Structure 1
Amino acid sequence: MSLHQSLQQKLLQKLSPQQIQLMKLLQVPTAILDERIKEELEENPALEQADEDSHDDEFEKDEFTEANEDDDYQTEGSEDEYENIDISEYVQDGDDDIGDYKTRDENYPELDDSKVIPHKVETSFMELMLQQLGLLNLNDHQLKVAEQIVGSLDDDGYLRREISAIIDDLAFRQNVDTDEKEIEALLLQIQQFDPPGVGARDLQECLLLQLKRKTDQGKIIDTAIKVLEKYFDEFTKKHYEKIQRALNLSDEQLREIISQIVKLNPKPGGTAGDTGKNTNYVIPDFFIANNVGKLELTLNSKNAPDLRISEGYRDMLKDYEKGTKKDKRQKDAVLFIKQKIDSAKWFIDAIKQRQNTLLNTMEAIMNYQYNFFLTGDETALRPMILKDIAEMTNLDISTVSRVANSKFVQTEFGTYRLKFFFSESLQTDSGEEVSTREVKKILTDLISEETKKHPYSDEKLTEMLQEKGYNIARRTVAKYREQLNIPVARLRKIL
């Protein structure tokens, strides 16, 4: 095959860097929008907060003026070349006005920056383990091995690493020789630490470690230990009849054993402090209020400060326009200023476009699910997909998806993720289309009202839903039940 050249005409769709940045800005939730704006303020000196008193303007203008008076810098090129720089669009009055979009919600008072915010201080799980490790009478060699074991515990307090891997880590990283017998002996001592159950290698061992500390509470604890040691699989699968027959237990005795086991902590490490773990708070992006039967939508913008073009940079351009002597250094400075002002204007427009897109999309969702926002009844939700909102707002489906992603709305009935309102449709016997969210709500109500000694099977739930007019198959009921994290009937049964 010979190589040859040819001319071809192609129609391609490419996104500009500004469009890509706008899409990224659109999907940023309100909780971290403040960080994104701070980054832009740090990178672009021509962008400033409207309420910020700039004290650096005089310094900037003086520095610019010094460049004009520098006799040692030689002028390059003709004067006409530098006079061709058009800066008229950058020095118009009104550029420093605050944008017409509201970036701060006046319904919320400003936070007092001088207010002292207390921080939670507590001992972490690892610190607690090391403190107890220091109470053991160990030599230097044993202490290194024990510290390696404690360091291998996960956040739940379990030792899920193989002992052979711990031996290899000690040998290759710390040049410490040990064997499985020594590690097992030290692990037994660590398993006596608080909270009870730490150092276990699986759930069964964790529960047994906790029960063995209660052996002085009566015979029922001994029986519970026997149940977990010999019939752990039957217990987790709730095959209580097999356990009763094997141990000759009455219903009352079995209920008491279950009560003792249920009180145990399956994750002992999670109770020993949350230091280093970030507490995540949901910050709603929208607020919907019911004002005498009329819904009012507001955008939470308290994390977005009022932005404007720096007056100092505009004054520098005005000084350049009024000046008579214009050299190459001034030209380079003006080009730099124009670039920063363009970037600042684009960012302000992007924030404005973001606010408008969010409001338009949420308003369409509110109007589509109007009955739900008035009543809070999940059965009032209508089937809604991204395409429905895209058609109402004349936006692309991908844009609606970015808005719905990681956004929350606060109502008088609670705070919901926007994705909560999107659901597929299911047809009833009368031909009416209802939301699958409505079916899931009814399914949850049926299971919550069932007798736990005789829970409904999937077949029974299917029959009950069909009696209510919902044309649904048993496998669909099973799928919805799994999506709701509801176990099968056998696992919901209690004595």
Structure 2
Amino acid sequence: MSLSQSLQQKLLQKLSPQQIQLMKLLQVPTANLEERIKEELEENPALEMDEDRHEDEYTDELQDEFDNQEADDLDPDGSVEDYENVDISEYVMEDDGEIADYKLKDDNYPEMDDQKIIPIKVETSFHDLLLDQLGMLELDERSLKIAEQVVGSLDDDGYLRRELSSIADDLAFRQSLQVDEKEIETIIHQIQQFDPPGIGARDLKECLLLQLKRKLSEGIGVELAIQVLSRYFDEFTKKHYEKIQRGLNLSDEQIREVISQIIKLNPKPGGHIGEINKAESYIVPDFFIINNNGKLELTLNAKNAPDLRISEGYRDMLKDYDKGNKKDKRQKEAILFIKQKIDSAKWFIDMIKQRQETLINTMSAIMKHQREFFLTGDETTMKPMILKDIAELTGLDISTVSRVANSKFVQTEFGTYRLKFFFSESLSTDSGEEVSTREVKKILSDLIEAEDKRKPLSDELLTDMLREKGYNIARRTVAKYREQLNIPVARLRKEL
């Protein structure tokens, strides 16, 4: 194959640095926006927070009066001629008294006060709790190292899912201890006596049995439960109660007592201890929707409109340069650096403003489309809505709407919802009307909730009931919706 050269003309679309920055900012939820702004403040000294709520002196009047390419084309030797055209007149203009649009926000709602500090609870972690109990055992140095390795191998839910051979290898490589699996097993049995009961189990069956053995003094029901889990664990998880009754010769009353004892147990003994309680673990709403006598009012979280401005100190430096007579090479290099930082700060402020406008436009379109839901809170009133619908209403790209919907929350009087919650496909009724699949899921959930748990409704019966209500739906679709709602099949919903 011969090599050749050719000239081609192509039309390409490329995102500008500002567009890329905007796309990244759109994906940042309100809870993390403050951290992102702090990063920008640290990187750019020309940008600062206007804590006293002064008017921004630069957002409206700072202009791109110099060409960035001009700065990029400067010769490496930095000759004086390269800086002769530096113009700072637009940077030292006096303020015209106008307030930037991004600062026009409503602070009348006390729940939107961005000065509030979320308290962070101080608590003992799950592993620290176990290490404290470990100190109460009379162990020699060797056994203590093995026990600490076992405790460190426990999952956050309290299970030991690592193989004993892997734990032995870790001790050999990290602690220079040669131990056999029997020695590790002995330590594990001691750790399994710690609180909460069930700690150190290898699987769910062992976890439940450890908890039941702590309750042996509570009566015959606990002993029967231990027998059921020991001999018929798989049958119990699949609710084959008839087979268990025949195998152990249990009456209906006894099997009900066994079920009562087992469902009281904790399948994740370590899951509720020492949860990390950080500020970001809370849902911080990006929007607030208030029903004011039938009129919906949308407000953006105040954290999305921070008070940013260009540093006054940088403006003073430009003024001093403009008034000075001696303008040597070093001064002009410094001024060029200052102008670049000011432009970077201006771009960031503009991106924050565009982010705010995009969020408001997107949420306004969603609120308009799902108005009945925001007024009533009834999921059956929700309309079919896809990303394309909102993109057409707002004039935004579908990918932009998707970025907003995937990471933002709205607080209503009925609860806090992720924006993605309001998007759903459509389903045709017998009358030809298009309804939201969310409406069908709500009706399906209500039917299952109201069913007789002794005779739960099968997917076939649920399909027939939905068709009687006018929803043209297949059985496999009902099964899919039921799985999406995390509802088990009829046999597993059966109660004695």
Q: TM-score by structure 1 length? A: 0.91
Q: Give the counterpart letter for 1:429 in structure 2.
A: D
| 2:57 paired residue number | none
| Cα separation, partners in 2 of 1:254 and 1:53, compared to 1, 3 Å | closer
| CA deviation profile, 1:214-251 (whole Å, cap 9, x unmatched) | 11111121111000000000000000010111111111
**What does residue 489 of structure 2 align with?**
488
Residues 37-436 of structure 1 mapped to structure 2, 5 A cutoff: 37-52=37-52, 82-94=83-95, 98-102=99-103, 105-109=106-110, 119-275=120-276, 280-302=281-303, 304-436=305-437
Report whether the alignment pairs 1:452 with 2:439. Answer: no
* Percentage of identical aligned residues: 76
Distance 2:118 2:438 in 1: 41
> Which amino acid counterpart does residue 126 of structure 1 have in structure 2?
H
Deviates more, 1:94-103 or 1:436-445: 94-103
Equivalent pair of 2:120/2:277 in contact (CA under 8 Å)? no
Range with greater deviation from structure 2 (155-164 or 226-235) = 155-164
1:102–1:301 CA contact under 8 A, matched in 2: no
What is the alpha-carbon distance in structure 2 between the residues aligned to residue 134 and residue 278 of structure 1? Answer: 32
Q: What does residue 36 of structure 1 align with?
A: 36
Q: How many residues align?
A: 472
Structure 1 residues 402 and 103: CA distance shift in structure 2, 3 A: farther
Q: Which residue of 2 aligns with 1:67?
A: none
CA distance in 1, matches of 2:360, 2:114: 28
Asked whether the equivalents of residues 426 and 434 of structure 2 are also in contact (C-alpha less than 8 Å), the reply is: yes
Within 2, Cα distance between the matches of 1:391 and 1:446?
36
Contact 1:286 1:410 in 2 (8 A): yes
**Is the 1:34–1:304 contact (alpha carbons within 8 Å) kept by the matching residues of 2?**
no
Find the aligned partners of 1:124 and 1:90 in 2 and give their Cα distance. Answer: 54
One-letter code of the match for 2:319?
K
The Cα shift of 1:401 comes to 0.8
Match of 2:215, SS?
Answer: helix
Q: What is the distance in 2 between the residues matched to 1:345 and 1:332?
A: 20
Deviations 1:191-218, CA, capped at 9 Å, x for gaps: 1111111111111011111111111111
Deviation at 1:96, TM superposition (A): 8.6
1:472 match: 473
Partner of 2:64: none
Distance in 2, matches of 1:222 and 1:200, equals: 19
322-331 or 473-482, larger mean C-alpha shift: 322-331
Deviations 1:245-268 (A, max 9, x none): 111111111111100111111111
| 2:8 corresponds to | 8
CA shift, 1:118, in A, is: 5.3
Moved over 6 A (4+): 110-113, 276-279
In the alignment, residue 51 of structure 1 is paired with which amino acid? Answer: E
Q: Could you tell me how far 1:356 is from its partner in structure 2?
A: 0.8
TM-score (normalised: structure 2)? 0.91
Instruction: Label 1:314 to 1:436 Cα distance change in 2 as closer, same or farther (>3 A).
Output: same
Deviation at 1:147, TM superposition (A): 1.7
C-alpha offsets along residues 335-367 of structure 1, whole Å, 9 cap, x if unaligned? 011101111111111111111111111111111
Amino acid at match of 1:160: R
Letter in 2 for 1:37: I
Tell me how far apart the structure 2 counterparts of residues 239 and 411 of structure 1 sit (CA, whole Å): 44
Aligned partner letter, 2:414: F
Alpha-carbon distance in 1 for matches of 2:459, 2:303: 48
Distance 1:91 1:135, change over 3 A: same
What is the one-letter code of the residue matched to 1:189?
Answer: Q
Q: Aligned partner of 2:49: which letter?
A: Q
* Farther-moved stretch of structure 1 (352-361 vs 167-176): 167-176
Conserved 8 A contact 1:104-1:303: no
- 8 Å Cα contact 2:118-2:279 kept in structure 1: no
On the 8 A contact 1:33/1:304 being kept in 2, the answer is no
2:466 aligned partner, one-letter code: L
Distance change (3 Å), C-alpha of 1:77 and 1:462? closer
CA distance in 1, matches of 2:301, 2:470: 41
1:311: Cα distance to partner?
2.0
Q: CA 1:118–1:28 in 2, change beyond 3 Å: closer, same or farther?
A: closer
For the residue of structure 1 that corresponds to 2:148, the secondary structure is helix
Q: CA deviation at 1:52?
A: 4.9
In angstroms, what is the RMSD of aligned CA positions? 2.1
Is the alpha carbon distance of 1:338 and 1:161 closer, same or farther for their aligned partners in structure 2, counting shifts above 3 Å? same
Instruction: Determine helix, strand or coil for the equivalent of 2:495.
Output: coil
Asked if 1 retains the 8 angstrom alpha-carbon contact of 2:103 and 2:305, the reply is no
Residue 88 (structure 1) shift: 2.0
Q: How far apart, CA to CA, are the structure 1 residues paired with 2:114 and 2:493?
A: 50
Provide the rounded CA distance (Å) in 2 between the counterparts of 1:494 and 1:95: 74
Preserved CA contact (<8 Å) 1:99 1:307: no
What amino acid maps onto 2:36 in structure 1?
Answer: R
Q: Is the 8 A contact 2:305 2:356 kept in 1?
A: no
Gaps of 5+ in 1: 55-75
Give the SS at the match of 2:488.
Answer: coil
Distance 2:143 2:261 in 1: 36
Shift of residue 458, structure 1, vs aligned partner? 0.0
Task: Tell me, yes or no, if the aligned pair for 1:198 and 1:269 is still in contact at 8 Å.
Answer: yes
Aligned-partner Cα distance in 1 for 2:43–2:193: 54
Task: Look up the SS of the partner of 2:196 in the other structure.
Answer: coil
Partner residue, 1:68: none
